[in-house]
Amino acid sequence: MNHIVKPYPLTHPYVLEFPQASDMRGHLTYIEPSHDLPFLVRRLYYLYAVPPHARRGGHAHRTLFQCLIALAGSFDVMVDDGFAVTRYTLAQPTVGLILPPMVWRELEHFRPDSICLVLASDEYDAGDYIRDHEEFRRLAGVTP
Ligand code: TYD
């Protein structure tokens, strides 16, 4: 079960910018999920030591909301809502990519030492994944 707290446009991916406190000692970015995200965070995980030619993702989620952040390095995210494909390059720790349910995503072109933090709206549930692209297209209403 998801916990939607804000009436953001929840059917399309979009990018958020988080605040940054900077001084001579460096940068600090902060996120208050109940204010800054369109869902409450019930899980976080991170991808790291991803080989340059590896692809992650390759699935959609039925109900899960996620926010992807490049804490270090950079990588590309291909997002397919069934009708249009959009490509994002995440390269700043102040930027979050919100992925609502029912979008197919592929993560690729990880630069060495990249870290992808994922904030997720629910605990891990293998049954929430759609791993077959044709099934995704049917469920998204693209094909009968
Ligand atoms: P997966 O979601 O397929 O990775 P990605 O989308 O980044 O390519 O997960 C890879 C493996 O890790 C899979 O066996 C399930 C496991 N896993 C968990 O046990 N808990 C989690 O929260 C996540 C995200 C994955």
Is residue 8 in a domain?
no
| CA of 140 relative to ligand 1 center, distance in Å | 22
Ligand 1 in reach of 48 Cβ (< 6 A) = no
Is residue 65 in a domain?
yes
Residue that is written with structure tokens 């049954």 in the block: 127
In this structure, which residue's CA is closest to atom 9 in ligand 1? 57
Is residue 7 in a domain?
no
* Count of Cβ atoms closer than 10 Å to residue 23 Cβ: 7
Instruction: Print the domain residue range for 125.
Output: 14-20+28-139
Is residue 114 in a domain?
yes
The pLDDT tens digits of the residues spanning 63-109 come to 999 999 999 999 999 999 988 999 999 999 999 999 999 999 999 99
pTM recorded for the entire structure: 0.93
Residue 10 is predicted with a pLDDT of 76
CATH code at position 108: 2.60.120.10
The pLDDT tens digits of the residues spanning 10-37 come to 788 999 999 999 999 999 999 999 989 9
| Buried/exposed 37-67: b ≥16 CB within 10 Å, e otherwise | bbbebbeeeebeebeeeeeebeebbeebbbb
* Structural domain count, the chain: 1
Is residue 94 in a domain?
yes
Q: How far apart are CA 7 and CA 79, in angstroms?
A: 21
Q: How far apart are CA 79 and CA 37, in angstroms?
A: 19
- Catalytic residue of the set 12, 59, 109, 133: 59
Q: Could you confirm whether 59 is annotated as catalytic?
A: yes
Is residue 83 in a domain?
yes
User: What are the tokens at 9?
Assistant: 């446009």
Residues in Cβ contact with 143 at an 8 Å cutoff, skipping those fewer than 6 apart: 134, 137
What does R_g of the chain's alpha carbons equal in angstroms? Answer: 15
Is residue 2 in a domain?
no
Is residue 49 in a domain?
yes
Ligand 1 atom closest to 105 (CA): 6
Q: Check pLDDT > 70 for residue 6.
A: no
